[in-house]
A and B are shown apart, each in its own frame.
Chain A
Amino acid sequence: MVTTILPLTLSGATAQVHGKRILGPVDLTLGQAGVTMVIGPNGAGKTTLLRLIHGLQRQSGGTQNWAVGVDEARAAQAFIFQNPVLMRRSVRDNIAYAARLTFGRSSTTDDVVDDWIVRVGLTEQARQPASSLSGGERQKMALARALIRAPQMLILDEPTAHLDGRSTREVEAILLDAVARDTRLVMSTHDMGQARRLGSDIVFLHQGQVFETGPATGFFTHPQTPEATAFLNGDILE
């Protein structure tokens, strides 16, 4: 699978709430491949940046350019929220909902849904209401619902923030599997271990600004800014 919607270039991109700027101006390019980890302290603007890329947050200034038209770009993305949205349906029907939007109602679609239920390990829970799932199971359902549409790019906002170690490992396994099938990941995390495990590139945000971008290895060994250094040292950033 080729990532045709990328690269994405943000130039002077800003976002505001009630007239107050909460992000930017951000200059950023996301290339065609890899796993970009968006990191930074609480309130740095990680969620805002990801939502802005996905079109859930209105951009108040600057430009956002995809390799294709914005509608085509959006249709080839999926988003995983920190708190999964649970439709008032069974686990299976939550996943089927997304699949039917893309592939229509058919027995083939049903087979793909069943396949994904097995892949994310929710066979036992498939008939239960989504609300009966544990935190980890909910996120796995959300992943199936997102990945079943075979997005070129998956955006994730702290997907394991509320999960225990075992669930985090299971979620990461699903993500690595997606990466192996050339899905482009852009995700935020506050878990530096996770950023090291999964990230190929880093975007370091602080106070709504991009302080540093680049390959993950270089960032973790030789951060370029005092802010990033302090953040990696575990100091409290104001």
Chain B
Amino acid sequence: MTDIWQGILQAFWLLITLDPTLIEITARSLRVTLTAVVIATALGVPFGVWLALNRFRMRRLTIAVLNALMGLPPVVVGLLVYLMLSRAGPFGVLNLLFTPTAMIIAQVIIITPLIASIAHQASRELWAEYHDLLISLGTTRRQRLITLIWDGRRSLLTATLAGFGRAIGEVGAIMIVGGNIDQLTRVLTTAISLETSKGNFSLALALGFVLIGLSITVNLLAHILSGTERGRRW
């Protein structure tokens, strides 16, 4: 119990004093994850909506593959990205291993299938509603895609937020490809892992509270956004 109390007190202390290390680690976490979320959204949302819109022969297989990719253990993704980026790997010359870029790549691979899958689910219902009208109006496939993304933007936001939640709390893959290097690739989760292994539970807990606070803030934002939506009765 004293550990938890100490952790809480220290977390407050670190927050109140705007501890430079804490700020730095938090900022890096946000930078890496937000970048990954933006890229994964740009890839996953159009693909998920496209899947809802189109009937083609390999569709079921594609969805099965997507779901399988969603269940990939992050640690394995980390290993694969490591192999790709290591000196001897095909992209070794880029010198990306143990950089924030490598961590972004791993996170994009982990959350894009998740975002695509949720976007697919979310837009199926909308497409069922819009199908007859959009066919009747003679829209092109491209116009349908854009319309579904735009009119479904609020429910598609849930896909993006789920991606954020998964990425910000991920530790296995970014530990492998980032290396948890102080002042370079250390983020909230890897720092928590390190402090815990050092027996430094107070700091680990403090970082953990920051991580939880961050998650709650983002989810709250999403909730407020969807609340204004319901208020307008769309």
**Interface residues of A, Cβ cutoff 8 Å to B:** 54-56, 74-75, 78-79, 81, 85-89, 97-98, 101, 129, 131-132
Is the beta-carbon distance between A56 and B135 smaller than 8 angstroms? yes
A85 CA to B128 CA, complexed, in Å: 10
**Which of B132, B138, B143, B147 is within 8 Å of A81, CB to CB?**
B132
Are A101 and B138 neighbours in the complex by a CB distance under 8 Å? Answer: yes
The one of A54, A75, A87, A132 that contacts B233, using a Cβ cutoff of 8 Å: A132
Chain A nearest CB from B72 CB (Å) reads 34
Greatest chain B CB density within 10 A among A54, A55, A101 is at A101
In the complex, whether B19 has a CB less than 8 A from a CB of chain A is no
> Does any Cβ of A come within 8 Å of B129's Cβ?
yes
By size class, the interface of chain B is: 10 to 19
Quick check: B137 and A98 within 8 Å, CB to CB? yes
Q: How would you classify the secondary structure of chain A's contact residues: helix, strand, loop or mixed?
A: mixed
Contact with A along B125-160 (1 / 0, CB 8 A): 010011011011111000100010001100000000
Interface contact A101-B143, CB-CB below 8 Å: yes
- B130, B138, B143, B232: the one contacting A87 at CB < 8 Å is B130
| CB <8 Å contact, B138 and A54 | no
Which residue of chain A is the closest to B143 with respect to CB atoms?
Answer: A101
Residues of A within 8 A of B132 (CB): 56, 79, 81, 85
**Alpha-carbon gap, A98 to B147, bound state (A):** 12
29 A-B residue contacts at CB 8 Å? A54-B136, A55-B135, A56-B132, A56-B136, A75-B138, A79-B132, A79-B136, A81-B133, A85-B130, A85-B132, A85-B133, A86-B129, A87-B133, A87-B151, A88-B126, A88-B151, A88-B234, A89-B234, A97-B137, A97-B147, A98-B137, A101-B137, A101-B138, A101-B139, A101-B143, A129-B233, A129-B234, A131-B234, A132-B233
Report how far A54 CA is from B136 CA in the complex, Å. 8
